[in-house]
Structure 1
Amino acid sequence: MEQTFSMETLYQVAEIELVYKSKVKASERPKIITSKDAYKILLQTWDEDKMELQEQFKILLLNRGNKVVGIYEVSTGGITGTVADPRLIFTAALKANAVALILAHNHPSASLKPSNADTTLTQKIKEGGKLLDINVMDHLIICNEGYYSFADEGCI
């Protein structure tokens, strides 16, 4: 059965607008050279009260010069996990006009060992990034006392 639409109905659709507005001058954005640089920035923005309470997932969005154009909190979960939806991650990256990103999440247990789920998610997002020409540079597991870098360990 063929469906017909009136002209009025055709114009009742959502309008999509892509906008990126930064309040930080390009010269003032922090540059990521090492995983430690990323860790320091993330630690400053992490809610200390949640570090050992709830798992959170964030991304650093980077421009071509590896300068941070934004930080996006993807999700906050429970004690043992959180959902990191790749669609939300890439929506944020595309909206910020990022060419690279760094994934990060905490382990409330303070264990820096990646789980199988962490490794699988990292590879899934890295593959998605290839399709969009967005480089997934690293995935950090963080706690107050240190971090684990997938890139430093040759796992990304």
Structure 2
Amino acid sequence: METLNQNWQTVSEIELIYKTKVKNSERPQIKSSKDAYILMLSAWDYNKIEFFEQFKVLLLNHAHKALGIYEISSGGIAGTVVDLRLIFSAALKANATSLMMIHNHPSGNLTASEADKQITRKVKEAGRLLDITLLDSLIITSESYYSFADEGAL
């Protein structure tokens, strides 16, 4: 009989660290959906905003200062897959206390789809369990945006 290596019983050490290259005083503060839209539009690849759908999260600290932008997925013309685990693994690693979800509609239509509403509800509920607040969910185009929070849909 083959000898079993007993190392499988040992839990590997996991080390979480947060390295930043930006001073807190230099981080943009998000005070409104318009602030988030302007920041995200400046960080979006303008050649892709009307080409295919992308989903990103804006991670924020307690003072609503931007910790970073994380791209969750890129998809097709009419949608992209969003995995909650990726959203919250990024938020937890960045030590974010809140976040905003942002995705584009290549068609230019700012109407929220049923899938948009559903993922917003899921992220809000999951965030509640982790004490990470979903501040807003934005649908953006190169010309304008729709804010779930401003429209009372959050």
Q: Give the TM bin, normalised by the shorter chain.
A: over 0.9
After superposition, give the CA deviation of every residue in 1:103-155 in whole Å (9 maximum; x if it has no partner): 00000001000001100110010000000000000000000000000000000
2:17 corresponds to 1:8: no
* Counterpart-to-counterpart distance in 1, 2:68 and 2:30: 12
Q: CA RMSD in A?
A: 1.4
Runs of 4 or more consecutive aligned structure 1 residues displaced over 6 Å after TM superposition: none
Give unmatched runs, 5+ long, in structure 2: none
User: Residue in 2 aligned with 1:91?
Assistant: 89
User: Matched residues, percent identical?
Assistant: 59
* Counterpart-to-counterpart distance in 1, 2:12 and 2:37: 39
Give unmatched runs, 5+ long, in structure 1: none
Shift of 1:14: 4.6
Choose the corresponding residue for 2:69, options 63, 68, 71: 71
Trace 1:5-154 onto structure 2 (pairs within 5 A): 6-11=5-10, 14-154=12-152
TM-score (norm. length: structure 1)? 0.93
* Counterpart-to-counterpart distance in 2, 1:30 and 1:39: 12
Query: SS of 1:22's equivalent?
Result: coil
* Counterpart-to-counterpart distance in 2, 1:38 and 1:22: 21
Query: SS of 1:48's equivalent?
Result: coil
TM-score (norm. length: structure 2)? 0.94
* Counterpart-to-counterpart distance in 2, 1:116 and 1:8: 48
